[in-house]
Amino acid sequence: MAGPRVKLVVTADDFGYCPRRDEGIVEAFLAGAVTSVSLLVNGAAAESAADLARRHQIPTGLHANLSEGRPVGPARQGASSLLSPEGFFLGKMGFREAVAAGSVSLPQVRDELEAQLIRFRQLLGGDPTHVDGHQHVHVLPGGRMPSWA
């Protein structure tokens, strides 16, 4: 009797970061080296990456981002525990330090992640196949990230 069938999933993240990276990711998908992608909805090339994902029917997840670039949600409108005074996310270490210090507002995290999910749906026309975290934001020690469950 055969054991359970195992399916290896190889996900390329940071899809939508820049066109050149996206082209390489698509090339890897078409060659069979990658089985899915994770889209940065606040990335500079998010719209063109979404077009590529649709065109090539690439299974696409949301690459939840709380550390790089600008937010897509309500935090854009003013002061937020997630942002620098210049309106950018705090960066990988800045975000980790803010979480450790207890200065990150979980409602603001929830609002930003919900806005990213909405933006994903706008770009792709449906729900993500999976959700993971940019710079492993989903596994931060002491950080309770909200779920949509």
Instruction: Give the number of other Cβ atoms within 10 Å of residue 67's Cβ.
Output: 21
Read off the pLDDT of residues 31-83 as tens digits, 9 standing for 90 and up: 999 999 999 999 999 999 999 999 999 999 999 999 999 999 987 777 789 99
Q: According to CATH, what is the number of the domain 11-139? A: 3.20.20.370
Amino acid identity for residue 118 in this structure: I
The SS3 of residue 97 is: helix
pTM, to two decimals: 0.88
Which residues lie below 8 Å from residue 10, measured CB to CB, with a gap of 6+? 33, 34, 35, 36
Active site residues: 13
